[in-house]
Amino acid sequence: METTAIEWIVIVLVSAVKMGTPILFGTLGGVISERAGVINLGMEGLMLIGALTSFVVKLYTGSTILAVSAAAFVAGAATFLHALVCISMRASQIASGLALTMFGTGVSGLLGDSLTGKTVAPLMDIKLPILSSIPLIGKIFFMQDALVYFSYISVAVIWYLLFYTRIGLNIRSMGEAPEVCDSIGLSVMKYRYAAVIIGGMMVGIGGAYFPMVLTSFWVDNLTAGRGWIAVALVIFAFWHPGKAMFGAYLFGAAISLQLRLQLIDIKISPYFLAMFPFILTIIALIIATIRNNKKKIAVMPASLGEAFFRGEKH
């Protein structure tokens, strides 16, 4: 049976949401962390740590909830290293993030080596009542797996938390003017630690999405650069959870299109198609930066990347 053009597009978009979900979790994690003023370039490593942890736990317990929680916990613990080094020990956030990526790549490659070839059962899609009967939208967004629904909730919660609560205002202030926060009695340390670690946990959940849904197996470097796409998307999304969602699905669509085009007979080499999401990321980053430069009010957190020490203004 021939698939019609509409059907084909829907298939691509359904998989765009799936492909976009780990990137969305990663971007959300980056948004929380960077809003508090701390860059996390360790996302690729954290995703790998999350992916391996969830795979191991699922393999031995069979429980997805345990697997994803473990991924969040272990990724959070690894992010603690980053927080310790660049918040308490005042080191470069950039170098520390790169160290985290190396560490994550290494530790997942080392401990995951013996697990290559094993598989776990993939997570089933759940039809949401009523919502799934909306034409097109229902099929694309509401006939997905539980982790996709969790990502929707996460976007809503983080959006609300960051922009409509006192805690969120405080977190954002940490990224704009930590010295002011300090002077009114807020603990910059506590807020930044919390934001970075919660952010890292989100990234870990994004990593868990790979073995839970996308692949069902573990292989070295499973995340294949998606963590870096998430790093770029934080900027593309202007540090906003809602735009992060849009951006993640855009890139999900790019990846899904790349995979679909490989299946049908076209004359483009799969190796060129593999470059496509990365080229698109570079273009998106350039456009976003130029747009950001043109805005009168800077969107980027003003103190992003700067360590804070009390009483040491220069």
Partner 1 sequence: MIHIFFEKRLYSSGFIRIAITICAIIFALLAGGVFLYTIGVNPFSAYSNVCSQIFTNKWGIEDLLLKMSPLMLTGISVALAAKMRLWNIGADGQFYMGACAATWVALTFGGSGNSLMLLPLMFLAGVTAGALWIFIPAFFKAHFNVNDIITTLLMNYIAISLVDYFLFGSWRDPNSLNFPITALFPPAAALPMIKNINLHIGFLIGIFIILLIYFFLEKSRFGIYVNIVGNNPNAAQYSGVNKKRLIILIMMISGAIAGLAGVIELTGVHHRLQQNISLGYGYTGIIVTWLSRAHPLGVIFNAFFMAFIFVGGEIMQMSAGIPVAMIYLFQGIILFSVLGSDVFAEYKLKIKKTA
Q: Total binding residues for partner 1 by CB under 8 A?
A: 50
Q: Does residue 225 interact with partner 1 by CB under 8 A?
A: yes
Q: Does residue 84 interact with partner 1 by CB under 8 A?
A: yes
Binding to partner 1 in span 45-64, by CB under 8 A: 45
The window from 11-19, 58-66, 107-115, 121-129 that contacts partner 1 (CB under 8 A) reads 107-115
CB 28 within 8 A of CB 202: yes
CA-based nearest residue to 49, from 103, 98, 96: 103
Site string for partner 1, 145-184 (x = CB under 8 A): ----------------------------------------
Shortest Cβ distance from residue 196 to partner 1 (Å)? 15
What value does the CA radius of gyration of the chain take, rounded to a whole number of Å? Answer: 20
Site string for partner 1, 246-285 (x = CB under 8 A): -----------------------x-xx-xx--xx-xx--x
Which residue, 40 or 144, has its beta carbon nearer to partner 1? Answer: 40
Shortest Cβ distance from residue 141 to partner 1 (Å)? 28
Amino acid identity for residue 96 in this structure: S
Shortest Cβ distance from residue 194 to partner 1 (Å)? 19
Which residue, 265 or 312, has its beta carbon nearer to partner 1? Answer: 312
CA 135 → CA 131, 139, 151, 152, distances in Å?
A: 9, 7, 22, 19
Shortest Cβ distance from residue 164 to partner 1 (Å)? 29
Q: Does residue 99 interact with partner 1 by CB under 8 A?
A: yes
Q: Does residue 220 interact with partner 1 by CB under 8 A?
A: yes
User: Residue 278: exposed, middle, or buried by beta-carbon count in 10 A (0-12, 13-18, 19+)?
Assistant: middle
Residue among 59, 66, 77, 91 that touches partner 1 (CB under 8 A): 91
Shortest Cβ distance from residue 161 to partner 1 (Å)? 26
Shortest Cβ distance from residue 198 to partner 1 (Å)? 21
Shortest Cβ distance from residue 29 to partner 1 (Å)? 16
Q: Does residue 293 interact with partner 1 by CB under 8 A?
A: yes
Q: Does residue 81 interact with partner 1 by CB under 8 A?
A: yes
Which residues of this chain interact with partner 1, rule CB under 8 A?
A: 41, 45, 81, 84-86, 89-92, 94-96, 98-111, 113, 220, 224-225, 228-229, 231-232, 235, 269, 271-272, 274-275, 278-279, 281-282, 285-286, 289-290, 293
